[in-house]
Amino acid sequence: MDALPIAERSGLPFASEIPDVMHACGHDAHVAMLLGAATMLQARRAELHGQVVLLFQPAEEGPGGAAPMIAEGALENPRVECAAMLHVDVRLTTGTIGVTPGPVNASADEFTLRILGRGGHGAYPHTGVDAIVAASAVVSALQSIVSREIDPLASAVVTIGTISGGYRNNALADEVVMTGTLRAHDPAIRDALAARVERIARSVAEGYGARAQLELRRGYPPVVNDLALVRTFAPVLAREAGVKVVEAPPTMGGEDFAYFAQEVPGLLMRLGVRNEAIGAVRSGHSAEFILDEAALAHGVDALVAFALTFGAAASIAEEKRNR
Ligand SMILES: [Zn+2]
Ligand SMILES: [Zn+2]
């Protein structure tokens, strides 16, 4: 479930047996922990006052499993009232869980930007419109969006990841194609980024006699942790999962749990799996990625604690309403 196209070099006895495919982000550990939580919750069934839904969400690496799961009714029957998830994090040591109030992951939108000029002979540049020169100016101008148009205390990313165009050394390029990613924690800034990329690309290209075409593909929304859930659950988490709860800084990474957290109060927890003694220090998406399996028990305890805490709280709220 949800592997990456990377040839595994972890050296583990249970390393991937499929060439060029591995669990480099720890999603196999996530499945193991949720199965562990299922077993524990069955054993502690009597303590549950509500129902618990276990969401084995696939395709977080893309195109995303959360949105189709919601469309198919994953949050209905029983109606889900709040949701939590764990993701392993090799920056945090085993025995810690990171919980961030408010925005924790960024939106991740992709774009393709075409700069259209007019081709010609490289020795007679005045006879054409050089798309490479126009594109260079566009790339430079786009850097001013984050530095000059976004509140310095907010967070935003405009990255051009690829650029290609042209034919050979002595021909004018008639087209340059770029692809990139736009990221933000605030939905208003997210929308502003796309609009500003388009405006700057159009007007700068026009200044060079070229044209710009922007194609935007909306990706995952930002993940925003519910403040009340964080406040209520952080002390329970420390006690029940035997971990140190730390306020991990938000990141500009994307995570499609965002769709669940848009529908119901949500909580994304980062499970520390770093252990230098066993070499569990390489980041996810690396061929040498391994995690400290001692952390799995903490993860299971965290998921069980969430279910027991809010299973009860939800039923109490319902009881009050019915009175
Ligand atoms: Zn992941
Ligand atoms: Zn990943």
pLDDT in tens, 279-317: 999 999 999 999 999 999 999 999 999 999 987 544 445
- Between the alpha carbon of residue 90 and those of residues 113, 136, 214, 265, 269, the distances in Å are 34, 37, 36, 26, 13
What residues make up the domain containing 62?
27-105+222-322
Centre of ligand 1 from the C-alpha of residue 103, in Å: 17
Q: What three-state secondary structure class fits 120?
A: strand
In a domain, 19, yes or no: no
**Quick one: 268 and 142 in the same domain?**
no
Instruction: Rounding to the nearest 10 degrees, give the CA dihedral for residues 229, 234, 237, 243.
Output: 150
**Quick one: 214 and 121 in the same domain?**
yes
CATH number for the domain that contains residue 193: 3.30.70.360
Centre of ligand 1 from the C-alpha of residue 26, in Å: 6
Report d(CA 244, CA 235) in Å as an integer.
Answer: 10
Centre of ligand 1 from the C-alpha of residue 214, in Å: 29
**Quick one: 166 and 309 in the same domain?**
no
Other beta carbons less than 10 A from residue 194's beta carbon? 17
What pLDDT score was predicted for residue 316? Answer: 45
**Quick one: 202 and 115 in the same domain?**
yes
Contact 274, 280 (CB under 8 A): yes
Q: How many separate domains does the chain show? A: 2
User: DSSP labels for 278-317?
Assistant: GTBTSPTTSTT----TTHHHHHHHHHHHHHHHHHHHHHHH
In a domain, 200, yes or no: yes
Range 213-228 average pLDDT: 97
Q: Which residue has the tokens 């000059």?
A: 148
Residue 183's beta-bridge partner residues?
Answer: 108, 157
Ligand of minimum distance to the alpha carbon of 256: 1
In a domain, 16, yes or no: no
User: What single DSSP character describes residue 189?
Assistant: H
Q: Is 109 a catalytic residue?
A: no
Share of the chain above pLDDT 70, in %: 96
Residue 172's beta-bridge partner residues?
Answer: 120
**Quick one: 208 and 113 in the same domain?**
yes
**Quick one: 131 and 121 in the same domain?**
yes
In a domain, 189, yes or no: yes
Instruction: Give the pLDDT confidence of 32-57 residue by residue, as tens digits.
Output: 999 999 999 999 999 988 899 999 99
Share of the chain above pLDDT 90, in %: 91
Q: Is 60 a catalytic residue?
A: yes
**Quick one: 144 and 197 in the same domain?**
yes
In a domain, 167, yes or no: yes
What pLDDT score was predicted for residue 49? Answer: 81
**Quick one: 71 and 120 in the same domain?**
no
Centre of ligand 1 from the C-alpha of residue 260, in Å: 16
Residue 110's beta-bridge partner residues?
Answer: 181, 217
Centre of ligand 2 from the C-alpha of residue 270, in Å: 13
In a domain, 190, yes or no: yes
Considering the chain, what is the average pLDDT of its residues?
Answer: 94
